[in-house]
């Protein structure tokens, strides 16, 4: 890693609003806990309109096109 490129990230006067991750000895950058990030994303509120729009119809399921339907309608 180029430590000189990361020097600006470790400024003590930087606002806490912009900090992320946790400081772990041996790493020069904040480290994210991937399990915690995924758990937080899974708990994100679901928009009812999007949930309805992303509901795969029976005919698409019958054809085995559930993944294609979701991809086409920008659903995850």
What CA–CA distance (Å, rounded) separates 66 from 8? 46
At residue 16, does pLDDT exceed 80? no
At residue 4, does pLDDT exceed 90? no
DSSP classification of residue 14: S
Residues 47/27, Cβ–Cβ less than 8 Å: no
What CA–CA distance (Å, rounded) separates 15 from 9? 11
DSSP classification of residue 19: -
Choose between 50 and 12: higher pLDDT.
50
Please give the average per-residue pLDDT across 32-41, as a whole number: 83
Q: What is the pTM of this model?
A: 0.39
Please give the average per-residue pLDDT across 41-60, as a whole number: 86
């Amino acid at each position: 890693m180029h430590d000189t490129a990361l020097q600006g990230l470790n400024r003590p006067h930087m606002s806490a609003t912009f900090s992320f991750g946790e400081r772990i000895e041996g790493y020069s950058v904040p480290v994210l806990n991937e399990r915690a990030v995924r758990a937080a994303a899974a708990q994100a509120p679901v928009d009812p309109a999007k949930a309805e729009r992303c509901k795969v119809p029976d005919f698409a399921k019958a054809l085995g096109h559930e993944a294609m339907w979701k991809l086409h309608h920008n659903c995850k």
